[in-house]
Chains A and B, each alone.
Chain A
Amino acid sequence: DVKVTQSSRYLVKRTGEKVFLECVQDMDHENMFWYRQDPGLGLRLIYFSYDVKMKEKGDIPEGYSVSREKKERFSLILESASTNQTSMYLCASSLRASGANVLTFGAGSRLTVL
Chain B
Amino acid sequence: AQSVTQPDIHITVSEGASLELRCNYSYGATPYLFWYVQSPGQGLQLLLKYFSGDTLVQGIKGFEAEFKRSQSSFNLRKPSVHWSDAAEYFCAVVPMNRDDKIIFGKGTRLHILP
List A residues at the B interface (Cβ < 8 Å): 4, 31, 40-43, 45, 48, 58, 90, 92, 97-108
Contacts and interface: CB of A to CB of B under 8 A. Distances in A.
B107 A101 contact: no
Does more than half of chain B's interface fall in helix, strand or loop, or is it mixed? loop
Interface string B92-106: 001110101110111
Interface of B: 9, 31-32, 34, 36, 41-46, 49, 51, 90, 94-96, 98, 100-102, 104-107
A44 B100 CA distance: 15
Does more than half of chain A's interface fall in helix, strand or loop, or is it mixed? loop
Contact of A40 (B90, B94, B106): B106
Contact of A42 (B41, B49, B94, B106): B106
Contacts, number: 55
B46, B102, B106 — which one has the most chain A CB atoms within 10 A of its CB? B102
A102 B106 CA distance: 18
Given A45-B101, A97-B100, A98-B100, A105 B44 contact: yes
Contacts of B94: 99-101
Contact of B49 (A90, A92, A102, A107): A102
Contacts of B98: 99
20 contacts: A40-B9, A40-B106, A43-B90, A43-B104, A48-B101, A90-B43, A99-B94, A99-B95, A99-B98, A100-B32, A100-B51, A101-B32, A102-B34, A103-B46, A105-B44, A105-B45, A106-B43, A107-B43, A108-B41, A108-B42
